[in-house]
Homo-oligomer: A and B are copies of this chain.
Amino acid sequence: MHVLLTNDDGISAPGLQALYQILSENGEVAVVAPDQEKSAVGHGITLNHPIRVTELPLVDGKTGYAVSGTPADCVKLAFLEILDKKPDIVISGINRGANLGVNINYSGTAAAAREAALYRTIAIAASVQGQRGGDFHGAARYIRHLSLETLKNGLPPMTFLNVNFPALPLSEMAGVRICRQGLSFPDEYLDRRKDPRGKTYYWHGCDFKNTETDIAIDSAAVEKRFISITPIKCDMTDYEAIPGLESWQILNGNSAINR
């Protein structure tokens, strides 16, 4: 299998290194990843700065590509410039820290997989709960298996898989659940502080404690020691809302504003 590997923790992150090691046993793995941590950049891309690409040796002596932009930039660079041909699959991760529920929006890890899916390529985003990371090696072995199964079975066009592992050795996990995305909002806050010059600044802070109880929801499954797999669609249209909107008094722009 031909794999493009990327992430948002940066090219030297241990989660990416674990995947590189395991996936290289089964095929050809290209690495195009940010040159530094790009967490929480969402699906941002770089338009207002030039993008630089640095060639770096990987553990086995092959060449990896460190990109000055976002995870989505990395996928664009790989597809449009670096790779000779499209990979069979794009894998993003393994991220240090879960990407569950509403946090999928902020996740650069998920955005790279979404970017690949928009390019009609099979893609998986993988993350391990906890800032210390868990069993990257075990998680990488599971991702390899899942990749092969995904290539065998296929995915609907423009859908990718978002996979999250509990912070445990693989042998202690309860199993695997196919989940939906949670939509509870995390308990977040802005921590207001004063700098040495007396000027106010804020840190964004968040309590990542799961508040979902239904194990069919991604964060609840991971809390119950399951690996969660959520199929994520690129099409964001709320089709069910369309007929209602068509009945509103909004369809004639000029008469609407001239009332």
Contacts and interface: CB of A to CB of B under 8 A. Distances in A.
Given A73-B204, A180-B237, A248-B149, A42 B40 contact: no
Nearest to A206: B47
Contact of A254 (B153, B155, B170, B235): B170
A102 B236 CA distance: 10
B253 A201 contact: no
B200 A53 contact: yes
Tell me the number of copies of this protein.
2
28 contacts: A39-B48, A40-B44, A43-B43, A46-B204, A47-B204, A50-B193, A50-B202, A52-B201, A77-B190, A81-B190, A102-B118, A145-B259, A146-B250, A149-B248, A149-B249, A156-B238, A156-B240, A170-B253, A170-B254, A170-B257, A175-B251, A176-B252, A176-B253, A183-B234, A231-B238, A231-B245, A232-B238, A233-B236
Given A145-B250, A233-B238, 4 more contacts: A80-B189, A81-B192, A178-B246, A233-B236
